Structure 1
Amino acid sequence: MNGTREGDAAWPDGLLLAYYGDDFTGSTDAMEAMTAAGVPTVLCLQKPTRELLARFPEVRCVGMAGSSRGRSGAWMDDELPEAFASLATLGAPILQYKVCSTFDSSPEVGSIGRAIDIGVKHMPGGWSPMVVGAPRLMRYQMFGNLFAAADGVGYRLDRHPTMSRHPVTPMSEADLRLHLARQTARRIELIDMIQLRGDDVDARVRALSAADTPVALIDVLDEETLAAAGRLVWKHRGEGIFTASSSGLQYALAAYWRACGPLPAKSSLPLAGPVQAIAAVSGSCSPVTAVQIAWARAHGFHTERLELRRALDPRDGDAEIERVVTAAAQTLTLGISAIVYSAEGPDDPAVTGFDAIASSAGLTRHDAARKIGRALAEVMRRLLDRVDLARVVVAGGDSSGEVASTLGIDALSVVAGLAPGAPLCRAWSAEPRRDGLQIVLKGGQLGEASFFGAVREGRVSGV
């Protein structure tokens, strides 16, 4: 492996990294990776103003949670330039568009290529590195192809039991060069694991860098290649680079800084401790979340389904929200945890029949999905107004964004570890009833079967 010279990892003054998360769960995943490594990080749920950041004088990494993963190209053209510009003005040498480690995207929805084309204009660098593999999350990139593990089995992403069947952005191509080429005309290069281990990898970066700012995918298979990728990005950051990467970038930089720089040898987060009961809302269609809901039901949680036809009907929508809130609140006041969910896995009729359900409500699939997210957000808001709760969970990236926005949360910071990629966060808000709330934003693929129980008990669980 290419060695590290003295001073390669030296930290400059000020921020090290600023990132825009393409959904809320992924944004907390990136924040967890940095915080656990010993890099103070805050996640803003609005544009990170100087006034807001003044509340966190120690931070070296700033994130901004967004919702672009489920948005159109036109929306990205309207919203991302201002978001990237606001982050670039903070002065960090690396500006990241944080993507999901399963590369959720298509030319029409959540286009990563379009985000890169917008983002590279905000940094002067001659290359745009891309780190997607994250071994801690069981995501691996080999020779440009992305793999992910499910239930202990590794799959090429176009054969993954969930991602190959994703209802919005199904993965039909695991070679990220080919997948990304459908979304941008930009030159796409690869630094594979053989080149990464070679002595001339730095020359490779210098040779590919040019005025057209190509994307350079970097293979990550294990801790060795992870640290090597981090070294390459950090050493060749120049006057500033833009990167579209998963939290693999955070893990890579931390691994490199840990190996030769100012970070402690071992990453860790404190434990949270138990609470009597938690409330959760889930808009996730993932089979992983379905197993977690079933586990919770079998272990004493109250589970309540949000009926989609009624929730989407303008005549019945509020009554349906009130119905599930009343049922959940009644059990919570008895000290019993409650989960309100919209589906249990990809084979749930609410998922397979969603197009017909949306059509019957006179809505497009996209508009119906957002309306369900807003309904779940309203469920959580009403529950918090009626029941004294210290800790809550939101499952699903789009749902997490809707809930966090509805609750009036300004920023999040990590307070404890739970499952990798799904930390326990503290909410910062001008509203006293929300300030200090403990909240977990969980991606659909994350957590073991007993995840909801682990959140209630405040213990660490596996992927």
Structure 2
Amino acid sequence: MMAASTARLGWYGDDFTGATDTLATAAQAGLRALLFMGVPTSVQLQRAGPLDAIGIAGAARAMDPEAMRAELEPVGRFFAQMRVPVLHYKVCSTFDSAPQVGSIGVAVHTLRQHVENRFVPIVGGQPSLGRYCVFGNLFARAGSAPSVHRIDRHPTMSRHPVTPMQESDLRLHLAQQALQPVPGIDYPLYAQPLAHQEAALDAMLAGHPAAVLMDASRPEDLQAVGQLVWRRAQQARLLAVGPSSVVQALATQWPRAAAAMDARPLAAAQGPVFVLAGSLSPVTAQQVRMAVSYETVPVDVASLVEGGDAAAQAMADRLAALLRDGRSVLAVTAGSASGGATAHAVAQAGGRVLARVLAQVALRRIGIAGGDTSSLAVQSLAAWGLSYQASLSPGVALCQLHSDLAALDGMEIMLKGGQMGPGDLFERLLHGGP
């Protein structure tokens, strides 16, 4: 049986890219943080040492409700045993989800059974990533472009291939996922005295809501959110939902450690870099076009999926040969003909290729683009944890892999969602920079 920890925070990332963003946020706030590849064993916890924040990387965002419950139930039991004051269910900052895929409602109903507090805050925005929640409605930038779009009119998220966002009011969006009622705390309340804010929250909780949506459009909003959430978490353990802004908000209430790992320049890679790009996002497409230092290799997705292990091995052999020649390689699955294969099958095939490449070539730095691709590709590796190394851009972190295999232990890995990062991101991964 595992002993309770002294950690202030436990988080589960509904995909690996988002989980690493929260890892970076926690480390930059001065927390001793480590992201595990699943519910950690007592031996892994012992190897990690004292932690202020314990993360679990998952793939619930791509699961149906039954699979989500099976995935999240042991997560809830683990964090209940650890007695963390805040259990954070980390979702994408664009909240893309649906009743049958990655349902936030299913996650809340499953995890709230493992906390005592009836208050379930949902933080609706993350200003540092260009995500703004105002009067319950979500707005977002597209990549690094300055323009901001209502989420149901967003050029990418409104057309997401699996979970298109067709409703900007997050309360209505969540109601479609059996999470209701969800009253909202609108940002003007944050300017009121704390006693007034607390009274308003008490009045909402008297109606026994499923959750409470909290606006977040400015950094100062997060301080007010953090104060309300942390005060309640100290009274009884609670479940909080949202992007990494949940941790940003809580960090405003915690003393900043002297060893805080601020965003810092990235050193150039030692040796060639391998990047697997499986995102359909226009942002990732631009990053592929600007990756002039790489040998770009289009991957025939249909052949890869239909050909199974043999096709994956043949592709891995080709990529490994280029890497052994000292060339950095960008393998691009996005945009190629899928032959009707599901996104999940494509991501799994990418994972098989990655594992076989790494079995042939000792690399010190790799990158994976795409939420599902990242989740399934990392699961194909014999790794048990990730720790934060450096920031490439807001929302994109470089992490260090922890594995019992010497060839993988210490390898640097970038996991990024489709919408994240500037156009020259893959060039930064190779050459370093701010």
Shorter chain as normaliser: what TM range? over 0.9
Say which of 279, 284, 302 aligns to 2:279: 284
- 1:232-281 C-alpha deviation (Å, 9 max, x unpaired): 11112121111121111011112343xxx344698614444112320011
Alignment correspondent of 2:162: 168
Alpha-carbon distance change, 101 to 185 in structure 1, aligned in 2, over 3 angstroms: closer
Task: Give unpaired runs (5+ residues) of structure 1.
Answer: 1-12, 359-364
Q: Is the 8 A contact 1:22 1:98 kept in 2?
A: yes
Say which of 289, 304, 311 aligns to 1:320: 311
- Percent of aligned pairs sharing the same letter: 37
Q: Is the 8 A contact 2:152 2:167 kept in 1?
A: yes
Task: Give unpaired runs (5+ residues) of structure 2.
Answer: none
Distance in 1 (CA, whole Å) between partners of 2:148 and 2:115 is 36
Alignment correspondent of 1:8: none
Structure 1 residue 239 corresponds to structure 2 residue 216 = no
> Could you tell me how far 1:177 is from its partner in structure 2?
0.4
Alignment correspondent of 1:339: 330
> Could you tell me how far 1:211 is from its partner in structure 2?
8.4
Of the structure 1 ranges 274-283 and 209-218, higher mean CA displacement relative to structure 2 is found in: 209-218
Of the structure 1 ranges 201-210 and 156-165, higher mean CA displacement relative to structure 2 is found in: 201-210
SS at match of 1:413: strand
> TM-score, normalization: structure 1?
0.88
Alpha-carbon distance change, 210 to 265 in structure 1, aligned in 2, over 3 angstroms: farther
Of the structure 1 ranges 197-206 and 403-412, higher mean CA displacement relative to structure 2 is found in: 197-206
Alignment correspondent of 1:205: 201
Say which of 33, 49, 52 aligns to 2:44: 52
- 1:185-227 C-alpha deviation (Å, 9 max, x unpaired): 4321100101122221111122222584531111111111111
- 1:361-414 C-alpha deviation (Å, 9 max, x unpaired): xxxx6xx32222121112111221222210000111111111211111100000
Q: Count residues in correspondence.
A: 425
Distance in 1 (CA, whole Å) between partners of 2:151 and 2:275 is 29
> TM-score, normalization: structure 2?
0.93
Alignment correspondent of 2:16: 24
> Could you tell me how far 1:436 is from its partner in structure 2?
0.8
Alignment correspondent of 2:221: 225
Alignment correspondent of 1:3: none
Alignment correspondent of 2:395: 421
Distance in 1 (CA, whole Å) between partners of 2:84 and 2:312 is 43
Alpha-carbon distance change, 211 to 440 in structure 1, aligned in 2, over 3 angstroms: same
Distance in 2 (CA, whole Å) between partners of 1:89 and 1:318 is 40
> Could you tell me how far 1:27 is from its partner in structure 2?
0.4
Structure 1 residue 146 corresponds to structure 2 residue 142 = no
> Could you tell me how far 1:317 is from its partner in structure 2?
3.7
Distance in 2 (CA, whole Å) between partners of 1:117 and 1:437 is 37
Structure 1 residue 444 corresponds to structure 2 residue 418 = yes
Of the structure 1 ranges 419-428 and 316-325, higher mean CA displacement relative to structure 2 is found in: 316-325
SS at match of 2:290: helix
Amino acid at match of 1:95: L
Q: Is the 8 A contact 1:408 1:429 kept in 2?
A: yes
> Could you tell me how far 1:127 is from its partner in structure 2?
1.0
Alignment correspondent of 2:77: 85
Q: Is the 8 A contact 1:305 1:324 kept in 2?
A: no
Of the structure 1 ranges 287-296 and 180-189, higher mean CA displacement relative to structure 2 is found in: 180-189
> Could you tell me how far 1:319 is from its partner in structure 2?
4.4
- 1:311-340 C-alpha deviation (Å, 9 max, x unpaired): 122xx3444323432332232223221011
Structure 1 residue 216 corresponds to structure 2 residue 208 = no
SS at match of 2:47: coil
Alignment correspondent of 2:406: 432
Amino acid at match of 1:434: L
Distance in 1 (CA, whole Å) between partners of 2:400 and 2:239 is 29
Alpha-carbon distance change, 267 to 432 in structure 1, aligned in 2, over 3 angstroms: closer
Distance in 2 (CA, whole Å) between partners of 1:155 and 1:427 is 36
Distance in 2 (CA, whole Å) between partners of 1:185 and 1:291 is 36
- 1:87-145 C-alpha deviation (Å, 9 max, x unpaired): 22111100111110010101111000111111111111121001131111111111101
> Could you tell me how far 1:287 is from its partner in structure 2?
0.6
SS at match of 1:236: helix
Alpha-carbon distance change, 126 to 210 in structure 1, aligned in 2, over 3 angstroms: farther
Amino acid at match of 2:109: D
Alignment correspondent of 1:113: 105
Counterparts of 1:304-319 in structure 2 under 5 Å?
304-313=297-306, 316-319=307-310
Of the structure 1 ranges 117-126 and 79-88, higher mean CA displacement relative to structure 2 is found in: 79-88
Q: Is the 8 A contact 1:306 1:320 kept in 2?
A: no
